[in-house]
Structure 1
């Protein structure tokens, strides 16, 4: 981290298992590394409606002028789940062990680490406007064991491979609202057609728009439902393959390919429908013509208050290719440059497969959702190429200082941004140091700060704020301008012991 992640040509100790397994050949004897990292993530956002704002005739969104509140992180513990601890940051432990027998071209290793993580908890404020894009969202990929080997082909060329065995977890708990033109129009018709006190006798012989009473009045800004997902994949293997070429003392080239995976996660879901849509459907089906209209439109006869069962999804883990150079103009000064390519285009959509027809989704057939046992959330991410830069200076025999800079091109285009993954283009700045305590032991520390900002005007992202007729899944901030950003703070320590 302290070198801006530009370490492919100079893999650091046992962390080479992840960054470039060929770098294990730099290790002699037996080496143990213990790492601890603390990560704090904040993603503030604010919402504002512009001129001529209208959702089917509703012109006052209660989220207008609001901002998201306190955000914390959670930790998923395999076998236990996601405890209720709301933490200001996440502690990420890591362990690496490597062994090289004197004179052998082989170096063996094993490590564990977090290879992917995104965590947000917005549960402290029950009225936080961010709750409609995830009260709790946690995506975590924990490599619990990565056996690895490095092979020294010559004095200047090494190759290596590792097989990360990962546990994948995805937890998502959110309130849902569906501001949409048609829902707004229906709500306005109800306001004009349905008496405030009591029913409409004529309505009983037509479509039953008033049959749900006050609770069945449609308001596109009201909470419609909540959904709770908890899915895991217990063992998901990938492969890392690396090459390291060091023809000169002052120059090195590193290449690593990190394989991807179409990880299948499975678990449980609970969907709770609010009275608004449940009572509306009941009213329609208690009238004369309502059941006919519902049948033609494919609407359900009823919506239960709660549905639960099993759910599965494919969460792609993108493959990556990284190429790096190291140049040492002097004995004490070194520069690193890496190019990083990632296949984020595989995140075209996240499709949830339920074990039954979801009655709430049957309401969405009118909007082009043909299969109510599936919920497809468009993503539309793109492949990325970005560079990282690092510099280290050996100021004494025991102390080395490190600096890094990594301008990251986001895999999420502006027209696909949302609060589930609020990641615009960012810049990462980092510093660190390594201190040799003794011949057998040294300690490294690193600190970094990453930030980026975005402004998405109304209808700027149909993953978040489009208000067109068919943009119902899923645009909770339809018609609103959304301004926000992301801030990530990191601090890490690694203690390395040689035997």
Structure 2
């Protein structure tokens, strides 16, 4: 019975950690909406940097720009995230199978097994954004997220080998909200994830006619916001339901010395725990206003039909701080306080160093040191004919650095006091959450064709590898192995002005069989952290569609 209490609070602490991890995981969808021309070339532009946005893709490319230039980017992104949940044969949690996520029976029909299983679907209603000035999320009407104009400027003084520039762009910007009754709310009812580079002083230097080098410093804003329900369909909570509905049924609401001594106060609450109940809700917001990073690039062009480039993007160290609030359900409060209110239960909790009472809400401050992984990209440009060009890049990202995430809280709580018993490296005010991610390599391909002297057609393809091991996948982060397709068009308006159009789509599908991922559906008595769909088969599908227009001119 003490284990039921520990499982509940440990799971809540793990959910808090996993929620913050979500913000970082979104970086797995990086480079999606930074430059329209790069987007339409499958991001294979290290040897062919796109105008002023060479700041990100290869700052050495700035050296190719002369005079004073300005780029304005307009971007629209639409997110479609779908999850499907179904029960495999012989599905049950400690003998119970009436999970409302997959059971079509009427609720509270007095039967503890499901007679009519269904396939449940989860989708998002629209896009959410975190607004720094009000420190809160805003739900946008259904439809695409539109950003722009995102400006970039560069200047090369007459006769100089140096080109200077700066740009505003979005290395990461995503968010969504679901309906309050959506079955996917245990993996995020409202999420906002942002990294915005608002200033990026950069320089490109032309060493000679063939070689250029460059560097840029990115000054960025990072934010994570999440609202989420919590449940734990685990064997411990299945046993808690057996106690509540069988053993405790004759003693509901009673309290006397004999019951407290024998049952640790577990029969006190009017409403007991169960594996399929919503146990709590979480609301957390964290941000960092200044998060610096740098890019270093080199570009070698020995011939007009061949070029090689490389760029190193540094890790970005971020110290995010913010607030969290955990709102406990009535069943969770009554069970925890019932155990703590009995003599024997209070003694047992005191021995474990755990508070014997929990309020309806727990609030406080939390901080996290997060390092956005470094990356390296290198590639070539080949022009086999005057009109046709092919680009090929290799991309590496150091996600292996994310072995675990560590969080520091401003106070001890029941949740953290219990979590330290289950998570090595954790204390009553510090939580360590394991991830075990892996670094990735992938290729990217781009092609362009000069249809006329003014019009250029473009296409790109990028098969992206997954940094998330198969045993850590979840519907909370549905972008794993992905395919990226893009098309574009460049139009030369006049000798000083270019207009780029582009459309791209990222698609990712995944299947997570029951008991295969301990970040979603693991079963077993020791898998409380965090498996809200324990024992269920899960399918996920994510589609990100991006459209863009860029206006580039010299003045």
TM interval, shorter chain, is: over 0.9
Say which of 339, 349, 365 aligns to 1:310.
Answer: 365
- The CA deviation string for residues 394-418 of structure 1, in whole angstroms up to 9 with x for no partner, is 1111111100011111111222111
Q: Which has the higher helix share?
A: 2
User: What's the counterpart of residue 290 of structure 1?
Assistant: 345
Kindly indicate whether the alpha-carbon contact (under 8 Å) linking 2:286 and 2:367 is maintained by their aligned counterparts in 1. yes
Q: CA contact under 8 A between 1:206 and 1:288: conserved in structure 2?
A: no
Counterparts in 2 of 1:288 and 1:237: CA distance versus 1, 3 Å: closer
Q: Flag the 1:376–1:45 CA change in 2: closer, same or farther, 3 A.
A: farther
Is 1:280 matched with 2:335? yes
| 1:112-138 CA-partner distances (Å, limit 9, x unpaired) | 10112332221xx21111111111122
Contact 1:378–1:463, Cα closer than 8 Å, also in 2:
no
**Relative to structure 1, is the Cα distance of residues 471 and 298 closer, same or farther in structure 2, using a 3 angstrom cutoff?**
farther
CA deviation profile, 1:216-250 (whole Å, cap 9, x unmatched): x1112111111111111111111100000000110
C-alpha distance in 2 between matches for 1:360 and 1:285: 14
2 CA distance for matches of 1:262 and 1:383? 18
Counterpart CA distance in 2 for 1:107 and 1:364 is 53
Q: CA contact under 8 A between 2:411 and 2:429: conserved in structure 1?
A: yes
Identify the residue that residue 549 of structure 2 maps to in structure 1: 493
- Give the C-alpha shift of residue 209 in structure 1: 4.2
CA-CA distance at 1:365 after TM superposition:
5.4
Superposition map of 1:98-497 within 5 A: 98-122=154-178, 125-195=179-249, 198-199=253-254, 202-215=258-271, 217-364=272-419, 367-368=422-423, 371-497=427-553
Aligned to 2:24: none
- Distance in 1 between residues matched to 2:202 and 2:423, nearest whole Å: 48
Q: Is the 8 A contact 2:130 2:138 kept in 1?
A: no
Higher mean C-alpha deviation, range 467-476 or range 101-110: 467-476
Shift of 1:363: 4.5
SS of 1:76's partner is: strand
SS of corresponding position for 1:329:
coil
Q: Deviations over 1:305-338 (max 9, x none)?
A: 1111211112221111000100001111110000
- Residue of structure 2 aligned with 1:37, choices 51, 71, 75: 75
More moved, 361-370 vs 32-41: 361-370
After superposition, the C-alpha distances for 1:1-52 in whole angstroms (9 at most, x for unaligned) are 0000000000011010111000001111111000011111111001112223
Cα distance in 2 between the residues matched to 1:381 and 1:279: 38
Contact 1:199 1:210 in 2 (8 A): no
The DSSP-based 3-state class of the residue aligned with 1:443 is strand
Instruction: Report if the CA contact (8 A) 1:258-1:319 is conserved.
Output: yes
What SS does the corresponding residue of 1:24 show, helix, strand or coil?
Answer: helix
Residue deviations 1:64-105, cap 9 Å, x none?
Answer: 131103342222333233442324222233211001122211
Aligned CA distance change for structure 1 residues 437 and 61 (closer, same or farther; 3 Å): same
- Judge which range, 91-100 or 355-364, deviates more: 355-364
Q: Does 1:54 align with 2:92?
A: yes
In structure 1, distance between residues paired with 2:420 and 2:137: 36
Q: Secondary structure at the match of 2:347?
A: helix
When structure 1 is superposed on structure 2, of 46-55 and 305-314 the one drifting more is 46-55
SS state of the match for residue 23, structure 1? Answer: helix
1:315-374 Cα distance to aligned partner (Å, 9 max, x none): 221111000100001111110000000011122233332211222344445544753433
Deviates most, 339-348 or 150-159: 339-348
- Match of residue 20 from structure 2: none
Q: Is the 8 A contact 2:420 2:431 kept in 1?
A: no
In 1, the alpha carbon distance for the partners of 2:232 and 2:461 equals 41
Distance 1:388 1:257, change over 3 A: same
Deviation of 1:297 after TM superposition, in Å, equals 4.4
The answer for unaligned runs of 5 or more in structure 2 is: 1-38, 103-118
Matching residue of 2:29: none
2-side partners of 1:14 and 1:424: how far apart? Answer: 30
The answer to whether the 8 Å contact 2:341/2:356 transfers is no
Given the superposition, is the C-alpha separation of residues 60 and 371 from structure 1 closer, same or farther in structure 2, using an over 3 Å criterion?
farther
Q: How many residue pairs align between the two structures? A: 496
Q: Say whether residues 1:73 and 2:134 are aligned partners.
A: no
Structure 1: segments with no counterpart, 5+ residues: none
* 8 Å Cα contact 1:342/1:383 also seen in 2: yes
